[in-house]
């Protein structure tokens, strides 16, 4: 049976040239970039070249980039590292943030949910785009607060702007790069202390860098402008998918349809059905979709990204997320529509 993959927001496959670069580096670039011998220095040169490529693409100085293994790690390092100086002052946080961002904020003394708490906030946390609904959010204006932005979903789907924030995180495996490489960017003025001790990454993140993954990430970054363009061109296909599904029942809704959204993402609220049951039926029919953040799979809690928008728990449990890969084709979407129509009619 053919398989159809509509879960790009969970993970996208690495680009073919990324696979090549990673494989080559595993064979040839395995040396430790911290070693001072010739092999190590060769690895160091490649590491710094990759850093320069990524920094240029983000429009920041290379020295401000810290390589991490995942956006989850980058968010924990960032937030925990700011806690000593900022943790006992109020933070204003977007309530639909990913758990990778909310969890390290647990120990902060006061967390207010945006748009509340802006006036007195010393820290503002606002994701660029939500993983489940695709809704794109502006960074709230704040005169004196440190502003943190999670760009894990936005990267490669829409242009990313760092002029309105002081730190941001990026994940490799959602934009054609490999797993195991992510970026933490911070302005050097941030009152941040490192937590993972070690000489690597200018003492900001200890641990031998995963050079093959980082080189793969730099390779994927070379294709970013093209990827953003291709993702942008998906909006009419996504809109057609939604228009068709909405025509089947007035109980169905596309969440955030009237707001700026990632062009590849559709959070479909199918009242009268359980998202999980629809997802399983689609999987059996050959289609991979999700019922929310992949990181929450297995949990029975309804998605907070959806309830935050004012939907009930039952409604949140009726959502499936379809997220298209940049090369999604009309025929694939038609096949999904046919299968979904059959399943919803049962
Ligand atoms: N932030 C957002 C918005 C995400 O969607 C995800 C993953 O789904 C993460 C952070 C965590 O990314 P990673 O898988 O690189 O840890």
* 213 in the same domain as 282: no
Q: Rounded CA gap, 295 and 284, in Å?
A: 21
pLDDT score for 294? 44
pLDDT recorded at residue 248: 98
How big, in percent rounded to 5, are the helix, strand and coil portions of the chain? 40, 15, 45
* Range(s) of the domain holding residue 308: 4-12+232-345
Q: What is the mean pLDDT of residues 214-235?
A: 98
Closest ligand 1 atom, CA of 72? Answer: 16
Contact 205, 67 (CB under 8 A): yes
Least-confidence region, from 25-29, 140-144, 206-210, 339-343 = 140-144
C-alpha 37 to ligand 1 mean position (Å): 36
Q: How far, in Å, from the CA of 98 to the mean position of ligand 1?
A: 7
Question: Is the minimum distance from the CB of 296 to ligand 1 under 6 angstroms?
Answer: no
Domain match, 109 and 140 both? yes
Q: What is the mean pLDDT of the chain?
A: 95
Q: Is 70 in the pocket of ligand 1 (CB under 6 A)?
A: yes
Q: Does residue 153 line the site of ligand 1, with CB under 6 A?
A: yes
State the catalytic residues. 295
The confidence score (pLDDT) of residue 1 equals 84
- Separation of 287 CA from ligand 1 center, angstroms? 22
Helices (H) and strands (E) in the chain, counts: 12, 12
- DSSP assignment of 51-68 equals HHHHHHHHTS-GGGEEEE
- Regarding the beta carbon of 297 and ligand 1, being less than 6 Å apart is answered no
Q: Which of 12, 127, 171 to mutate to test the pocket of ligand 1 (most atoms within 8 A of CB)?
A: 171
Task: Look at residues 227, 252, 272 and tell me which one is the last residue of a structural domain.
Answer: 227
pLDDT at 299 over 70: no
Predicted confidence at residue 29, as pLDDT, reads 85
CA of 176 to the centre of ligand 1 (A): 14
Q: Which residue has the tokens 């993402």?
A: 265
Domain stops at, among 227, 252, 280? 227
215-to-10, 11, 45, 179, 232 alpha-carbon distances in Å: 22, 18, 11, 12, 26
**324-337 confidence digits (pLDDT tens):** 999 999 999 999 99
Q: Residue 346: is its pLDDT beyond 90?
A: no
d(CA 16, CA 138): 33
Would you say residue 183 has pLDDT above 60? yes
Q: Is the CB of 279 under 6 A from ligand 1?
A: no
pLDDT at 49: 98
Q: What is the DSSP string of 240-261?
A: HHHHHHHTT-TTEEETTTTS-B
Among 99, 136, 150, 152, name the best residue to mutate to test ligand 1's pocket (greatest count of ligand atoms within 8 A of Cβ).
152
* Residue 254: CATH number of its domain: 3.90.1150.10
pLDDT at 293: 46
Please check whether residues 23 and 127 belong to one and the same domain: yes
Q: What is the pLDDT of residues 245-296, one digit of tens each?
A: 999 999 999 999 999 999 999 999 999 999 999 999 999 999 999 996 444 4
- Are 211 and 179 members of one domain? yes
Same domain as 32, residue 148:
yes
Q: Model confidence over 88-140: pLDDT tens digits?
A: 999 999 999 999 999 999 999 999 999 999 999 999 999 999 999 999 999 99
Same domain flag for 171 and 239: no
Q: Of the candidates 201, 227, 253, which is a domain's last residue?
A: 227
Pocket test for ligand 1, best of 7, 11, 72, 217 (most atoms within 8 A of CB): 72
Q: Does the bond joining 239 to the residue before it have cis omega, within 30 degrees of 0?
A: no
Q: What is the average per-residue pLDDT within 22-44?
A: 96
* Rounded Cα–Cα distance for residues 263 and 237 (Å): 9
Q: How many domains does the chain have?
A: 2
- 218 shares a domain with 120: yes
Residue 179 CA, ligand 1 centroid: distance in Å: 11
Judged by DSSP in three states, 136 sits in strand
Average confidence (pLDDT) over 189-197: 95
* CATH number for the domain harbouring residue 134: 3.40.640.10
What pLDDT score does 68 carry?
Answer: 98
Q: What is the DSSP string of 280-344?
A: HHHHHTTEE-BSS-GGGTT--SPPHHHHTTT--HHHHTTEEEEE--TT--HHHHHHHHHHHHHHH
């Amino acid at each position: 049976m053919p398989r159809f993959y509509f879960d790009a927001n969970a993970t996208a496959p690495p680009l073919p040239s990324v696979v090549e670069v990673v494989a080559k580096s595993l064979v040839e670039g395995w040396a430790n970039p911290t070693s001072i011998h010739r092999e190590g220095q060769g690895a160091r040169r490649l590491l710094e070249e990759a850093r320069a490529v990524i920094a240029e693409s983000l429009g920041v100085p290379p020295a401000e980039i810290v390589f991490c293994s995942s956006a989850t790690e980058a968010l924990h390092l960032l937030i925990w590292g700011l806690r000593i100086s900022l943790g006992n002052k109020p933070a204003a946080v977007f309530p639909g943030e990913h758990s990778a961002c909310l969890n390290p904020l647990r120990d902060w003394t006061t967390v207010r949910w945006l748009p509340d708490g802006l006036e007195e906030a010393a820290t503002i946390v606002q994701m660029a785009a939500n993983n489940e609904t695709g809704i794109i959010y502006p960074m709230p204006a704040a005169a004196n607060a440190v502003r943190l932005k999670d760009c894990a979903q936005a990267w490669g789907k829409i242009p990313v702007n760092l002029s309105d924030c002081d730190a941001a995180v990026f994940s490799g495996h959602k934009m054609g790069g490999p797993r195991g490489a992510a970026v933490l960017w911070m302005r050097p003025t941030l009152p941040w202390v490192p937590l993972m001790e070690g000489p690597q990454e200018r003492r900001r993140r200890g641990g031998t860098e995963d050079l093959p993954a980082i080189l793969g990430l730099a390779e994927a970054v070379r294709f970013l402008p093209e990827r953003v363009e291709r993702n942008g061109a998906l909006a009419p296909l996504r809109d057609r998918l939604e228009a068709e599904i909405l025509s089947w029942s007035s109980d169905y809704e596309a969440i955030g349809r009237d707001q700026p959204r990632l062009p590849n993402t559709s959070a479909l609220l199918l009242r009268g059905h359980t998202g999980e049951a629809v997802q399983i039926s689609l999987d059996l029919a050959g289609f991979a979709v999700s019922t929310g953040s992949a990181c929450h799979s297995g949990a029975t809690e309804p998605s907070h990204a959806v309830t935050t928008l004012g939907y009930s728990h039952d409604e949140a449990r009726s959502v499936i997320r379809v997220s298209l890969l940049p090369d999604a084709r009309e025929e694939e979407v038609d096949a999904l529509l046919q299968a979904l129509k059959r399943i919803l009619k049962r």
